[in-house]
Structure 1
């Protein structure tokens, strides 16, 4: 991802912190600096840059991600993971769930923004049994490779 000249931290490092936070604790963007301060920065891949992380830095990194060719980025990540971990691609398994939203989300209508495709948050068959709320469908695809997601039995 191309760096923002106002940012003193590469976007990939800031996004790595966001991803780790989502996996571990899901703190809001404004609290990421506090979350990082509670950890060894080297474990987060930050070393001496943790003091530069704030919500503005993360916001700029998220904007860079939005403006990037996300399809190409995702393809490169998947291909690299397949090669690095020797993932067997002869059989895949899918699991889906709905991510429920409350509120208007008027801008999440699927229309392009800044030349990029956007997601459409809409009503549908909600797996949480809440047809009154909007949703996105999230699909996880895993292989049968041991230790690469789940192991079907």
Structure 2
């Protein structure tokens, strides 16, 4: 009588999973990106969560190996009912990343960071903002100077 391997939940995933759940990461991504649940086996939020959690399993893991990283792990406990490692494949992850890139990822990141500060009462005394502005006083067609290598004007 062969027995199926018992999926496990590695300790290293418990804390990051709890943090992502506390800030509502999956729901936030799912609400923000455009997707249709009828055409996705796993939501974009859960696929993004898989990418994040995979970095705790192996430091450098290519997207096409993420499903291998979750082999033998209780994916239902992390991502919901009926989610198996084969659902976390590179095609599904690429689709999710495409949708995230269409939804202004800079804004998503800022919102998630502020959510972390708020939920965990993280105090910050300084805020560093680095910006660069390039401006020209003349229309571009009137500029006659030519840039020479090694010179700044």
Tell me which interval the TM-score lies in, with the shorter structure as reference length.
0.5 to 0.7
Unmatched 5+ residue regions in structure 1?
A: 94-153
Instruction: Kindly name which structure, 1 or 2, has the bigger radius of gyration based on alpha carbons.
Output: 2
Which structure has the highest strand share of the two?
A: 1
Deviations 1:60-115 (A, max 9, x none): 0111111111122112111111110001121469xxxxxxxxxxxxxxxxxxxxxx
* 1:9 and 2:42 are equivalent in the alignment: yes
Residue 23 of structure 1 is matched in structure 2 by 56
Which structure has the highest helix share of the two?
A: 2
With structure 1 as the length reference, what TM-score do the two structures score? 0.52
The answer to which structure, 1 or 2, has the higher relative contact order (CA under 8 A, 6+ apart) is 2
CA RMSD, aligned part only?
2.2
Cα offset for 1:15? 0.8
CA distance in 2, matches of 1:37, 1:47: 16
Q: 1:76 aligns with which of 111, 119, 134?
A: 111
Query: Structure 1 residues 48 and 40 mapped into 2: Cα distance closer, same or farther (>3 Å)?
Result: same
Unmatched 5+ residue regions in structure 2?
A: 1-32, 129-153
SS in 2 for 1:79: helix
SS in 2 for 1:49: coil
Number of aligned positions between the proteins: 93
